[in-house]
């Protein structure tokens, strides 16, 4: 996995949002108006106090009118800022989901075979949602803080250069030093937390699939222990992040209070008049929220960047097998006894674990071949190698005289009907799930396929026949019924080559 610095992750994520620059610009302008209005209200409130003390001649009603105007601007601009930030975030997240699904499709099926499926689910769902923190609460807050700080310092400098310098130091500590320190502190915790959430998802997937076995074989206590141990570790990391956030917020408040107190003392020591010092102190005190938004990023952003890194790595990951589009298209003969599939000195291993070694096989047109062997000897792997889901270590596989690595991927798959050990179904009707193999199939073709799989009678006795709904994963049918429907789907495709992985294991 490629390791990136936090800065590189943010730059890469911003590149993904470049199409929405104008929306971001609106959010930034609105945010600047919002914070300036908020600070102006505080300054005007101090001026009311000064007015009450008889230190300035400005009309009381004029100050109140200005406060009302800034209050209105604050409300409208704050709403616009939040709306535009989240609009950009949701647009980018929509794009990211499309890109992630496209990446999984590009990397499949090898990626699905070797990956932690719980981690993939976490990436597609929770990780992408957490990246929203970056787009909605990072890009514009940083820009807003920088511009607001420049405006604040310019205004303060007019009245007192030394107070402007002290305020600049406080802004720098809160807006730069704290985020960097807490981001580094929280980075490993955030990455570990995202990994543990993926692992916990995987545990739940396994337990849900095997819930019957858990109940049957009194595995319940062990299963509960597994979940509790994983959850305990997860909670520890979450508690660590919460503790870091609490410390950060306390330090922010401390900086604001100390800065305001020091400024009052310095103002008094330098002879700054009360009619200027009080509004200036109020303004500085209420100017910190813009900077505090950046300071808080150090903790919350750690998880968002950890998610961003995982998603970016997935988007950049190279597939184990590249889809072939510049090869040849298969044109298989309709008859004859010529060699259709030839496997020559094929070897393959998963990492350091050999599965096939110098395997040879020839299958002629029209020939039925059954391969037997103990579990783990490579029967399923052999079919995946023929489908070119995985690359052979050595040796070759040829279809009708053409090495599979030279055949266009879609052409290869269109000429082979492949049924895996576990037939997968999707929510929809029986008809919908059969039409996956041949979208334009007629009802007569569907009936013929069902008949060949010896499942027609079963379907005809269902109340809605072909329009009977299958639940998620087809769990409202038995394993044998699903396997026969899977066979029917293969028969419907009517490919020249059929690869069936334990097609009768549940019959």
Classified as helix, coil or strand, 336 is coil
Residues 194 and 252 grouped into a single domain: yes
Name the band, by pLDDT with cuts 50, 70 and 90, for residue 11.
confident
Report yes or no on whether pTM surpasses 0.85: no
- Residue 161 sits in a domain of what CATH number? 1.20.1560.10
Structure tokens at 122: 């976490």
Residues 257 and 364 grouped into a single domain: no
pLDDT value at residue 231: 76
Count of domains forming the chain: 2
Structure tokens at 306: 């950890």
Residue 255: is its pLDDT beyond 90? yes
Residues 183 and 108 grouped into a single domain: yes
Residues 312 and 362 grouped into a single domain: no
The tens digit of pLDDT for each residue in 162-198 reads 999 999 999 999 988 888 787 777 666 666 666 677 6
Q: Is residue 228 part of a domain?
A: yes
Q: Is residue 328 part of a domain?
A: no
Mean of the pLDDT values across residues 427-451?
Answer: 90
Mean of the pLDDT values across residues 94-104?
Answer: 83
- Residue 469 sits in a domain of what CATH number? 3.40.50.300
The tens digit of pLDDT for each residue in 348-403 reads 988 888 889 999 999 988 889 999 888 888 888 899 999 998 889 999 999 988 99
Range list of H helices, 108-138 = 110-114, 117-122, 128-137
The tens digit of pLDDT for each residue in 202-242 reads 777 677 767 766 665 667 777 777 777 777 777 777 777 77
Residues 265 and 381 grouped into a single domain: no
Which H or E run contains 445? helix 443-452
Classified as helix, coil or strand, 202 is helix
Determine the structural domain holding residue 175 and report its residue range.
Answer: 6-316
Mean of the pLDDT values across residues 20-43?
Answer: 92
Of 43-47, 189-193, 305-309, minimum mean pLDDT range: 189-193
pLDDT value at residue 425: 80
Residue 1: is its pLDDT beyond 60? no
Tell the residue number behind the tokens 């005007």, with chain if given: 44
Residues 206 and 302 grouped into a single domain: yes
Residue 444: is its pLDDT beyond 60? yes
Residues 141 and 30 grouped into a single domain: yes
pLDDT value at residue 128: 79
Residue 502: is its pLDDT beyond 60? yes
Residues 310 and 350 grouped into a single domain: no
Burial of 428 (0-12, 13-18, 19+ CB in 10 A): middle
Tell the residue number behind the tokens 């929306």, with chain if given: 23
pLDDT value at residue 9: 85
Residues 312 and 371 grouped into a single domain: no
């Amino acid at each position: 996995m490629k390791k990136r610095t936090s800065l590189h992750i943010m730059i890469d994520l911003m590149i993904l949002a470049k199409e929405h620059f104008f929306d971001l610009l609106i959010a930034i302008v609105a945010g600047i108006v919002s914070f300036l209005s908020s600070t102006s209200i505080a300054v005007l409130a101090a001026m009311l106090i000064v007015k009450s003390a008889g230190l300035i001649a400005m009309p009381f009603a004029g100050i109140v009118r200005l406060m009302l105007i800034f209050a209105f601007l604050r409300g409208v601009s704050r709403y616009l800022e939040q709306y535009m930030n989240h609009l950009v975030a949701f647009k980018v997240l929509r794009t990211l989901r499309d890109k992630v699904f496209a990446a999984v499709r590009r990397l499949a099926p090898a990626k699905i075979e070797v990956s932690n499926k719980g981690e993939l689910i976490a990436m597609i769902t929770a990780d992408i949602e957490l990246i929203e923190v970056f787009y909605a609460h990072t890009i514009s807050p940083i820009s807003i803080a920088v511009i607001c700080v420049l405006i604040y310092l310019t205004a303060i400098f007019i009245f007192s250069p030394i107070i402007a310098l002290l305020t600049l130091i406080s802004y720098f500590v809160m807006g730069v030093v704290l985020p960097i320190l807490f981001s580094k502190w929280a980075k490993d915790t955030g990455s570990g937390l995202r990994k543990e959430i993926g692992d916990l998802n995987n545990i739940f997937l396994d337990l849900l699939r095997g819930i019957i076995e858990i109940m049957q074989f009194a595995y319940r206590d062990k299963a509960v222990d597994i979940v509790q141990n994983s959850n305990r570790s997860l909670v520890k990391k979450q508690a660590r992040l919460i503790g870091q956030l609490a410390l950060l917020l306390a330090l922010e408040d401390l900086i604001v209070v100390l800065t305001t107190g020091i400024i009052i003392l310095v103002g008094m020591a330098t002879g700054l008049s009360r009619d200027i010092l009080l509004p200036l102190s109020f303004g500085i005190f209420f100017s910190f929220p813009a900077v505090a938004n950046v300071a808080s990023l150090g903790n919350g952003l750690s998880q968002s960047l950890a998610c961003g890194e995982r998603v970016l790595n997935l988007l950049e990951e190279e597939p184990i097998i590249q889809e072939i589009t510049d090869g040849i298209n298969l044109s298989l003969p309709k008859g004859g006894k010529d060699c259709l599939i030839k496997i020559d000195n094929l070897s393959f291993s998963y990492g350091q674990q050999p599965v096939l070694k110098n395997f040879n096989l020839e299958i002629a047109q029209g020939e039925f071949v059954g391969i037997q062997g103990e579990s783990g000897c490579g029967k399923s792997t052999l079919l995946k190698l023929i489908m070119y889901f995985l690359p052979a270590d050595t040796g070759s596989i040829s279809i009708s005289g053409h090495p599979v690595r030279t055949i266009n991927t879609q052409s290869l798959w269109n000429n082979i009907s492949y049924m895996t050990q576990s037939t997968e179904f999707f929510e929809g009707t029986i008809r919908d799930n059969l039409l996956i193999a041949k979208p334009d199939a007629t009802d007569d073709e569907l009936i013929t396929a069902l008949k060949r799989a010896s499942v027609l009678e079963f379907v005809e006795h269902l109340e809605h026949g072909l329009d009977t709904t299958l639940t998620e994963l087809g769990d409202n049918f038995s394993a044998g019924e699903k396997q026969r429907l899977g066979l029917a789907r293969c028969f419907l495709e009517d490919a020249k080559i059929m690869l069936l992985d334990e097609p009768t294991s549940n019959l």
